[in-house]
Structure 1
Amino acid sequence: MMLASYYSKQLEYVKNRYSATPQIPQSLYLLYSQEGDTFSSSEEQLSRKFSIASITKSITAMGILFLIDQKKLSLETPLDSVLPATWESKGFQSRKITILDLLRHRSGIPYRSSYMKMVKYKGGSLFIPEQIAVAGERYFYSNYNYYILKAIIEKVSGKTYSEYLKESLLDPLGMQDTQTRGSNGAGGIITSLRDLAKFGKLILHRGRLHGKPFISEQLIRKIWLTALNDGIDEEDEYGLGWHVQQENGVVTSLYHAGNWFGTFSLIHLFPQEKGMLLLWANPPNYQSKSLLEYRWKMVGLAKSYLHNLRIYTLNKTLPLNKFVGLYRAGDSHAQTKISLRQKKLVLESDISTFLKRLDLTSFIVEQKKKTTIHFVEKDGEIIGFMAGKEFYNKVF
């Protein structure tokens, strides 16, 4: 496919431009598509092991989701009902910290603080910062949330963190390169691009493994829905162990980066396009401008390839001529015509406008105030579309 050949060369060009330099001595990548080709650095490098630092949080979050799937926890479970102790700080006790708060970094516990306290519970203790906000009210990215989640996994499962993840996640997915021993729940896991791809596929496939349900699809969707439905309209939020990017209420990507001295890693999922980009590099400075440019150029290429591949696949699956016809509104009886011009669909009304394809049956009207049209398909044929609150039946 010419599309695959073009993007394969572009990815290699960007990688070679930024790698083998003082800023980025080495780098590896893997671009996976459920519907097309997969590109990567040399095959033998896919099993190279490296620390994924904070991507560990996404794996810890999955461990918690397994316990929820087994009905041993819920997102609303108060922390002190699992690890009995006084977790809330004085002045911030109006609401208890929940599992959801910890997963989303909304416990009120900051990343750093001069005011620390020792919390003792049956079977262990944790040295954590004092809260600086009531649980659920504000976002503070903090490793301490995931130190606590690790302790919860061990308490509820009755196993060590490493034993539980090995039995519930690593062995079933065949993640043989992955080492969790020594991880604190927020960082410290060692893995490879090959194994990280297996983990990413579990999310992209909505909890299915080898075509069969492995974990509830509803729970997998909550990874991003908890962020989209929290009443906060931000382009980049934090869901259940993942950063969530959205546009007009639709999730566009899930990602997590891992930064530590001498190592950088990234897992970036594109749920709509059913693909992902994985990166690893060993920069002396993980905050360098070169690394930031390299990361976002590779993400941009991955997104472009997956989007174009999706459109190519959709056009093969449901050709545009299927949408052509006369449509009549059920209530107002207003009529509109959709035609095909220059290999694009055109909405014929007072002003003819092109339609830009979003997915199999959704298009955006290309005008200043963009409107989305959702077509209804039955047995391979289009029977109508929804625009706003009105449904238009296809007449012919």
Structure 2
Amino acid sequence: MFKPLIGGVLVLLLLAVAFFLWAARRVEMPAAEPDRGVGISNEQIARIGERQQAPDSVIDYERLDRRLAALMHEDRMIGLAVGIVENGQIRFLKGYGVTTAGTEEPVRVDTLFRWASVSKGVAGDMVSLLAAEGKLSLYEPIGKYSAAIRLPGGIENRATVANALSHSLGLAGHAFDNKLEEGQDPRMLRAQLSTLNLICAPGQCHAYQNVAYDSASDVVEKVTGKTYPEAVKERLFDPLGMTSANMSREGLVSAASWARPHVGGKNSKPVEVTEPYYRVPAAGGVNSTIKDLAIWMQAQMGLAPRVLTPTALDAAQAPRVNTPGELGRMRKFRERLKSASYGLGWRIYDYAGHHVIGHRGGVRGYRSLVMFDPQLKSGVVALWNSSTNQPGGLEFEVLDMLYRLEPRDWLGVDGRTTPEQPAPEAVGNNMQDADQGN
């Protein structure tokens, strides 16, 4: 009489075990579907003009479109892609110009570009996310997590993970970028940083890095047991629905539509896609479409909390070190730009009394930008395939619309004297059109 009872108990136990294993697997796996707070479907892109007519909109999209079209008449402009998020919603995605000078292949919203140093925010977010999960501490020595890095006087055992991601290790700016561009192995270069002299104690000054910054990839690989691109794809890009985003030269040039890099004008030929900064993926390795960069910006606004938690975003976007050099580079905009600091892969500004976050990037033949107001959940992203910095004024024109400020010709398309756009910070041997980081 007990056999049926025992059999039933065994069945229930097996079902319980099966459910436990299924639930555990669900917890371990990242969300496969994009977070509902971000993204835009192809159907919505086709009808994006309807979003621009929303009652809460303060951006004059028609005027902005006219000004961008005028910008494309400049000789140095080849191709450009722009995205705008307003009140948390992607309301503008458009390509201008061509992927290659002398052709008629248009830049579309699915054309791939390089992010260059805008990639640094990915590393800042990824490490902050792991810290929020208790898998590392931002305030432990960088040497604990990066076996490759060696700093002067052994300070890798005192300088923190946060120091590395805020460019405040105490090294001179762009240390060994020139050797990286010559083709030397970045992990070997990180070990050779110990031969340099410090310009300040860790945490006491800001000096922009690429080789040292990529110690972030070492941190992620040690903590996750995966390569940096694998971990970022699994934890960030895939859950956000950023289907085009990748971190390799092959991932760029094999795309159905990709923008070729240019350093000359409309009559020039494209130059080679350079490899060195793909070898420091945390510093400058990401490629994507403008759509996916806009989705990335939405996530920075807190619209994808299942992927990027508020704790992780707060850690990445908190000011860590003042950057007076940045104010110097942006001096033409000091009418409204009042302060500048750096977080973990992100720049933080006071623009006309408003708290804004962003970054710029430049690598040979490509430029990029992202700028947003996290409170208003509004901002702009842009990617272009030439070495001109003129489109950089776009971020300020969008901010002026958001804040209802008197417009300025920041893009320089009105035929009047206009502020010169700040170039991405020079790197390496400072050769014209060499790879750059910002």
Short-chain TM bin? 0.5 to 0.7
Partner of 2:264: none
The answer on 1:65 being equivalent to 2:132 is no
Partner of 1:100: 162
Tell me the alpha carbon deviations over residues 58-87 of structure 1, each in whole angstroms, 9 at most, x when there is no partner: 111111112112211111011122235773
| The one of 246, 252, 260 aligned to 2:355 | 252
Partner of 1:304: 400
Tell me the alpha carbon deviations over residues 274-295 of structure 1, each in whole angstroms, 9 at most, x when there is no partner: 1110111222x34xxxx33x32
The answer on 1:149 being equivalent to 2:216 is yes
Q: 1:273, 1:307 within 8 Å by CA — same for their partners in 2?
A: no
Tell me the alpha carbon deviations over residues 331-368 of structure 1, each in whole angstroms, 9 at most, x when there is no partner: xxxxxxxxxxxxxxxxxxxxxxxxxxxxxxxxxxxxxx
CA apart distance, 1:247: 6.1
CA apart distance, 1:97: 1.1
The answer on 1:238 being equivalent to 2:300 is no
Residue identity (%): 21
Q: 1:223, 1:242 within 8 Å by CA — same for their partners in 2?
A: yes
Closer, same or farther: CA 47–308 of 1 in aligned 2, 3 Å: same
* One-letter amino acid of the structure 2 residue matched with residue 201 of structure 1: Q
Q: 2:236, 2:307 within 8 Å by CA — same for their partners in 1?
A: no
The whole-number CA distance in structure 2 between the counterparts of 1:5 and 1:237 is 28
Partner of 1:276: 379
Higher helix share: 2
* One-letter amino acid of the structure 2 residue matched with residue 266 of structure 1: L
The whole-number CA distance in structure 2 between the counterparts of 1:240 and 1:114 is 20
Larger Rg: 1
* One-letter amino acid of the structure 2 residue matched with residue 192 of structure 1: T
CA apart distance, 1:237: 1.1
The whole-number CA distance in structure 2 between the counterparts of 1:258 and 1:96 is 29
Give the length in aligned residue pairs.
288
| Equivalent runs, 1:1-396 vs 2, <5 Å | 1=53, 7-34=60-87, 38-42=91-95, 45-84=108-147, 87-90=150-153, 93=155, 96-110=158-172, 111-112=174-175, 125=188, 126-129=190-193, 130-132=196-198, 133-181=200-248, 183=278, 184=280, 185-205=282-302, 208-209=303-304, 213-227=306-320, 235-246=339-350, 252-283=355-386, 285-286=387-388, 291-292=389-390, 294-296=391-393, 298-308=394-404
Q: 1:93, 1:134 within 8 Å by CA — same for their partners in 2?
A: no
Tell me the alpha carbon deviations over residues 176-222 of structure 1, each in whole angstroms, 9 at most, x when there is no partner: 101124631211211111111111111112xx42xx54333133123
* One-letter amino acid of the structure 2 residue matched with residue 82 of structure 1: Y
The whole-number CA distance in structure 2 between the counterparts of 1:147 and 1:103 is 9
The whole-number CA distance in structure 1 between the counterparts of 2:294 and 2:76 is 26
CA apart distance, 1:95: 7.5
Q: 2:177, 2:210 within 8 Å by CA — same for their partners in 1?
A: no
What is the DSSP-based 3-state SS (H/G/I as helix, E as strand, rest coil) of the residue aligned with 2:212? Answer: helix
RMSD between superposed Cα atoms in Å: 3.3
* One-letter amino acid of the structure 2 residue matched with residue 188 of structure 1: G
CA apart distance, 1:271: 1.4
CA apart distance, 1:19: 1.0
Tell me the alpha carbon deviations over residues 150-199 of structure 1, each in whole angstroms, 9 at most, x when there is no partner: 11111111111111111101110011101124631211211111111111
The whole-number CA distance in structure 1 between the counterparts of 2:81 and 2:287 is 15
The whole-number CA distance in structure 2 between the counterparts of 1:11 and 1:33 is 14
Q: 1:60, 1:146 within 8 Å by CA — same for their partners in 2?
A: no
Q: 1:107, 1:134 within 8 Å by CA — same for their partners in 2?
A: yes
Closer, same or farther: CA 78–34 of 1 in aligned 2, 3 Å: same
Tell me the alpha carbon deviations over residues 21-41 of structure 1, each in whole angstroms, 9 at most, x when there is no partner: 321122121111126771231
The whole-number CA distance in structure 2 between the counterparts of 1:245 and 1:145 is 24
The whole-number CA distance in structure 2 between the counterparts of 1:14 and 1:128 is 47
The whole-number CA distance in structure 2 between the counterparts of 1:242 and 1:187 is 13
The whole-number CA distance in structure 1 between the counterparts of 2:59 and 2:339 is 30
* One-letter amino acid of the structure 2 residue matched with residue 304 of structure 1: D
TM-score under structure 1 normalisation? 0.65
* One-letter amino acid of the structure 2 residue matched with residue 63 of structure 1: M
The whole-number CA distance in structure 1 between the counterparts of 2:70 and 2:357 is 26
Closer, same or farther: CA 228–204 of 1 in aligned 2, 3 Å: farther
The whole-number CA distance in structure 1 between the counterparts of 2:348 and 2:292 is 22
Q: 1:102, 1:145 within 8 Å by CA — same for their partners in 2?
A: yes
Q: 1:204, 1:271 within 8 Å by CA — same for their partners in 2?
A: yes
Q: 2:114, 2:286 within 8 Å by CA — same for their partners in 1?
A: yes
